[in-house]
């Protein structure tokens, strides 16, 4: 392959890519590295179009890169609809684009092996991000037998793509880079023999009569294990999903969520684009602009329709001094290109968010990154039967919960962004509260556990005193249930 979009110089990150691996994509050879997923390897080789829209056959590229959208589905070794963004490459793998129009049934796959396993745990946690890992550590310290499931091959949630040091205090690992906090939490989890970590295991259902959670673990593209897991308590820490925006061309390959760009740049060391426009000048937008510069990508502009950036001033200032323009009261009109992003048109708006005539500007870019907010991923909570409410301040549908983060489904707790969009630091503290509460409700732990929970709750209260948290606090009030211990 002549195209190689891999990054070889970075001020913060180094990548353990592993040995070279060869596979085929639509009959052509692709050289990848063992620790890459299929989608990452294809992007590195300059392939941006992964699938097609079903009626107009418009090309589509990956949007989320964390196994949540459906824009990277491909046929792998004959198996249809494989999420290529979270499936590691294997030597000799046969990867093919699917034709969504095709009316025949998928060909039976003879080489498929499915094993079944029945398992029991005190606490089963869905999601191995900052909330899930922290919950696991707290519950394990109290002596609970814990399982943590994550659909990704690399646990750590969104921490693993953060090159900046975090705000907060010592208690929340402040001053440490997100990617390093993931390592700290994972090594603490591994220090506990009573925690089983299941990467590449996707929770798919909960069967109330049996009290059983089912998950499918990928052991290789043709090998799966159906995990039938009984937990005495469950903690849902499934994080969030990035939002998109409606504008012509928003489905062109090269338009992606900010988190997807971060995954490519920072997890895999692959340049998603050479020149980008970032939509949204909140914290995610300006932080990813800085990360783009670290990865050698030119940011043409960060635009936001609001008259003020929603980002912390220090983060916004970092990119301003590097001559990256933040254009307020600007929004996207359309994205153009033949099969992939080639340019974008933006325009200014007035106080009433109406277009200012004649303010259109065309910008040549090959990437559009959307940093326009997140929505909690609550599907598992719905399966557990937790009562939900739409709370705009928290990003969408979220579960009612007690102050100890137990939902209306008894024994089912929530932590992190799945309870409402906040930050990794708050996710860590919520994980501790859910983990200690789940363990304590099983009669485990003692005064120390109670003290850990008290400190986490106090910390959250102090953190949320920040003026930026006023709305979030109001949102939480809307779904706070009376005490239950």
Partner 1 sequence: MSEEVLEGTDTIEAGYVTVEDLKRNDRIPPLKALERAPMPVIDCLEDIPCTPCRDVCPTKAIVMKNMIDRPEIDWDKCTGCTLCAQACPGLAINIVNYFFGKKSLRKPGYEDYSLVMIPYELTPIPRKGDVVDVYDRGGKLVGEAEVFSVIKSPKFGTVLVNILVPQGWAFEIKHVEVRRR
Residues at the site binding partner 1, with contacts judged by CB under 8 A: 9-12, 163-170, 174-175, 177, 281, 286, 293-294, 296, 300-301, 307-309, 311-329, 345, 360-364, 425, 462-463, 465-467
Nearer Cβ to partner 1 (56/314): 314
Q: How far is the CB of 293 from partner 1 (least distance, A)?
A: 6
Nearer Cβ to partner 1 (27/307): 307
Nearer Cβ to partner 1 (47/305): 305
Say if residues 275 and 369 touch (Cβ distance below 8 Å): no
Nearer Cβ to partner 1 (363/457): 363
Report the alpha-carbon distance of residue 20 to residue 475 in Å, rounded. 49
Cα 10 to chain center, whole Å? 22
Which tokens go with 171? Answer: 């208690």
Q: How far is the CB of 180 from partner 1 (least distance, A)?
A: 8
Say if residues 122 and 444 touch (Cβ distance below 8 Å): yes
Q: How far is the CB of 320 from partner 1 (least distance, A)?
A: 4
Which tokens go with 143? Answer: 């002596």
Let me know if 359 is exposed, middle or buried by CB neighbors in 10 A (0-12, 13-18, 19+).
middle
Nearer Cβ to partner 1 (177/232): 177
Q: How far is the CB of 362 from partner 1 (least distance, A)?
A: 5
Which one-letter DSSP state was computed for residue 305?
S
Q: How far is the CB of 363 from partner 1 (least distance, A)?
A: 7
Residues in Cβ contact with 481 at an 8 Å cutoff, skipping those fewer than 6 apart: 400, 401, 402, 408
Report the alpha-carbon distance of residue 213 to residue 341 in Å, rounded. 41
Strand partners, 146: 123, 195
Nearer Cβ to partner 1 (92/248): 248
Say if residues 202 and 343 touch (Cβ distance below 8 Å): no
Q: How far is the CB of 271 from partner 1 (least distance, A)?
A: 14
Which tokens go with 318? Answer: 């970092």
Which one-letter DSSP state was computed for residue 349?
B
Q: How far is the CB of 309 from partner 1 (least distance, A)?
A: 6
Q: How far is CA 377 from CA 67, 81, 234, 401, in A?
A: 12, 21, 16, 16
Q: Over 50-64, what HEC string results?
A: CEECCCCCCEECCCC
Nearer Cβ to partner 1 (100/325): 325
Nearer Cβ to partner 1 (141/315): 315
Report the alpha-carbon distance of residue 189 to residue 210 in Å, rounded. 29
Report the alpha-carbon distance of residue 438 to residue 255 in Å, rounded. 41
Q: How far is the CB of 473 from partner 1 (least distance, A)?
A: 13
Nearer Cβ to partner 1 (109/313): 313
Q: How far is CA 124 from CA 44, 121, 144, 212, 245, in A?
A: 36, 6, 10, 11, 35
Q: How far is the CB of 381 from partner 1 (least distance, A)?
A: 27
Nearer Cβ to partner 1 (212/363): 363
Taking alpha carbons only, the member of 452, 411, 451 closest to residue 122 is 411
Which tokens go with 211? Answer: 């009290």
Nearer Cβ to partner 1 (14/110): 14
Say if residues 250 and 344 touch (Cβ distance below 8 Å): no
Q: How far is the CB of 317 from partner 1 (least distance, A)?
A: 5
Q: How far is the CB of 360 from partner 1 (least distance, A)?
A: 5
Nearer Cβ to partner 1 (322/480): 322
Which tokens go with 383? Answer: 């399966």
Q: How far is the CB of 80 from partner 1 (least distance, A)?
A: 42
Q: How far is CA 469 from CA 166, 420, 476, in A?
A: 17, 12, 10
- Sheet strands side by side (includes 73-76): 28-33, 20-25, 94-96, 73-76, 79-83
């Amino acid at each position: 392959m002549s195209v190689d979009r891999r990054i070889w110089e970075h001020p913060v990150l180094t990548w353990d890519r592993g040995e070279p691996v060869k596979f085929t994509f639509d009959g052509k050879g692709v050289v990848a590295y063992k620790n890459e997923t299929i989608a990452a390897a294809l992007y590195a080789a300059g392939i941006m179009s992964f699938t097609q829209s079903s009626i107009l056959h418009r090309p589509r590229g990956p949007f989320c890169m964390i196994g949540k959208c459906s824009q990277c589905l491909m046929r792998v070794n004959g198996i249809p609809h494989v999420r290529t963004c979270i499936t590691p490459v294997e030597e000799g793998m046969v990867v093919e684009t699917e034709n969504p129009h095709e009316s025949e049934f998928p060909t039976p796959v003879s080489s498929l092996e499915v094993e079944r396993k029945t398992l029991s745990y005190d606490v089963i946690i869905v999601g191995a991000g900052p909330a899930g890992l922290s919950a696991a550590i707290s519950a394990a310290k109290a002596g609970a037998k814990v399982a943590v499931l994550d659909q990704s091959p690399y646990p750590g949630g969104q921490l693993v793509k953060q090159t900046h040091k975090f705000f907060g205090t010592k208690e929340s690992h402040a001053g440490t880079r997100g990617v390093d906090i993931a390592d700290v939490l994972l090594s603490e989890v591994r220090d506990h023999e009573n925690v089983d970590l299941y990467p590449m295991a996707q929770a798919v259902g909960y069967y109330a009569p049996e009290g059983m959670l089912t998950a499918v673990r990928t052991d290789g593209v043709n090998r799966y294990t159906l995990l039938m897991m009984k937990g005495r308590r469950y903690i849902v820490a499934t994080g969030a999903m990035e939002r998109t925006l409606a504008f012509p061309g928003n489905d062109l390959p090269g338009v992606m969520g900010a988190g997807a760009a971060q995954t490519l740049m920072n997890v895999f060391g692959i340049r998603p684009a050479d020149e980008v426009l970032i939509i949204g000048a909140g914290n995610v937008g300006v932080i990813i602009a800085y990360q783009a510069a670290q990865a050698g990508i030119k940011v043409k502009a960060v635009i936001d329709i609001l008259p003020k950036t929603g980002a912390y001033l220090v983060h916004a200032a970092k990119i301003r001094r590097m001559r990256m323009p933040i254009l307020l009261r600007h929004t996207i009109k359309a994205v153009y290109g033949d099969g992939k992003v080639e340019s974008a048109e933006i325009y200014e708006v007035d106080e009433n968010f109406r277009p200012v005539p004649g303010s259109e500007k065309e910008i040549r870019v090959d990437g559009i990154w959307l940093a326009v907010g997140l929505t909690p991923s609550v599907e598992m909570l719905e399966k557990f039967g937790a009562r939900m409410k739409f709370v705009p301040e928290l990003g969408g549908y979220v579960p009612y919960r007690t102050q100890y983060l137990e939902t209306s489904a008894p024994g089912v707790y929530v932590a992190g962004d799945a309870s409402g969009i906040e930050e990794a630091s708050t996710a860590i503290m919520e994980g501790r509260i859910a983990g200690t509460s789940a363990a304590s409700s099983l009669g485990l732990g003692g005064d120390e556990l109670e003290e850990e929970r008290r400190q986490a709750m106090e910390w959250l209260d102090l953190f949320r005193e920040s003026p930026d948290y006023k709305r979030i606090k109001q949102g939480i009030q809307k779904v706070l249930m009376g005490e239950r211990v």
